[in-house]
Structure 1
Amino acid sequence: MSDSNQLRKDILATRNNLSPEELQEKSKAIGNRLLELPEIVKSKSIFLYVSFRSEVETMSLLKTLIESGKTVSVPITYVKERRLDAIHITDPENQLVPGYCDIPEPDKSIRVSNIVEPETIDSVILPGSVFDERCGRFGYGGGFYDRFVSKIPKACRIGLAFDLQIVKLAPLQDHDELLDYVITETRIIRGKR
């Protein structure tokens, strides 16, 4: 257990050292790869995390996907219930406010009216701390995304990561869900979930 915590800590420390320019440049390369992925092109409904701190930046992706006519939903975290809900947004600039841990999330005014049923989602795009060559993923320790995707096995699962977050084999546990793809600034890793 401590191995995975240390690995997570080390990789996040390295990721936090990326300069704003590197973060932006690498995120743009990752975003371009994602938008060309056939699964994303075909998806009508896409669930996408809202980037925070040194995560792969998603604000421009949100806008591009919305403009291309996709139904885009983002997470709201209910810490006590240990769950995520998917909330449909159309205007990220005005509909997102600082929420859990200051992560941008949907404004109260749309949390109930814009709920998206998980089983209607075609693709789920996840953040994470560590990813591996078989498309394994470590989140940040809360298990929110693992619980969310485990309920919708048919949805395509895509992790966005920088090359520095990829290890050969992460010490995954039983509850850690595998992904279909991990996209970095230089490559697309395909999983065999």
Structure 2
Amino acid sequence: MHDSQSIRKQVLAERDLLSPGERREKSEIIHHHFLDLVNPFHPVTFFLFVNFRSEVETLELIGQLLKSGKTVTVPLVSVQEKSMTAVRLIDPETDLVPGYFNILEPRKDLLKTRTIDHKSIDIVVLPGSVFDERGGRLGYGGGFYDRFLANEVLPSALRIALAFELQVQGEIPQEPHDQPADFIITEQRVIRGNLDPSRRKYTER
């Protein structure tokens, strides 16, 4: 089995080869799969990543969720504390500015008025570099989402990763601290991971 660093590098290089048109088209299909999966459970509060570089695009999905009246939050990263704070979006165009690594994140002045209780999050939408068919996930090496899932949100918050099919492998190496995804949604399929019993309500259909 290859080490995680070389797998990450190889898969991200492949993902970078997708054209903007391909990314947009595949991302739209992924959005449809995502909404089909979550809508029956009437979740209220979402925590989503804002796409960067060649990731699955999420700004359109954020817009759709806002239009449907959902509470949409995105991370504001603290590099010093190696943590993320969920900040509510109202208007992504004015609320988001380039932050950590030039990734769009909420303006710092919104921390006082728009920070939400992380325990109120129903669904965490995960980015990542590589995934496997058991729900395994490799991030980008910073551990921000692993810490967030382990310490900040309730165990009942559903974890859904968005990825292109080329990012999914049969099996990837995992460390004890790596937090898995409950579902991985690609443009081709919805992969169900090994759900924690506290999140089983999401499969009772």
TM-score norm. by structure 2 comes to 0.91
CA distance in 1, matches of 2:38, 2:101: 33
Deviation at 1:38, TM superposition (A): 3.3
| 1:175 maps to which of 170, 174, 177 | 177
Q: Which amino acid aligns with 2:180?
A: L
Is the Cα–Cα contact under 8 Å of residues 34 and 40 in structure 1 kept in the other structure? no
Question: Where does residue 116 of structure 2 map in the other structure?
Answer: 116
Identity of aligned residues (%): 50
Is the Cα–Cα contact under 8 Å of residues 40 and 123 in structure 1 kept in the other structure? no
CA distance in 2, matches of 1:61, 1:25: 13
Matches within 5 A, 1:19-168: 19-38=19-38, 41-151=41-151, 152=153, 153-168=155-170
Deviation at 1:179, TM superposition (A): 1.1
1:14-49 superposed Cα distances (whole Å, 9 cap, x missing partner): 000100010000000001110111367511000010
The aligned length equals 193
* Structure 1 stretch displaced more, 38-47 or 2-11: 38-47
1:44-81 superposed Cα distances (whole Å, 9 cap, x missing partner): 00001000110000000010000100000000110110
What SS does structure 1 have at the residue aligned with 2:161?
A: strand
CA distance in 2, matches of 1:59, 1:41: 22
Question: Where does residue 3 of structure 1 map in the other structure?
Answer: 3
* Structure 1 stretch displaced more, 71-80 or 32-41: 32-41
CA distance in 1, matches of 2:7, 2:188: 22
Question: Where does residue 184 of structure 1 map in the other structure?
Answer: 186
TM-score norm. by structure 1 comes to 0.97
Deviation at 1:124, TM superposition (A): 0.2
Deviation at 1:172, TM superposition (A): 0.7
Structure 1: gaps (5+ residues): none
What SS does structure 1 have at the residue aligned with 2:23?
A: helix
Deviation at 1:112, TM superposition (A): 2.2
Q: Which runs of 4+ in 1 moved over 3 A?
A: 38-41
CA distance in 2, matches of 1:119, 1:140: 25
CA distance in 2, matches of 1:76, 1:2: 33
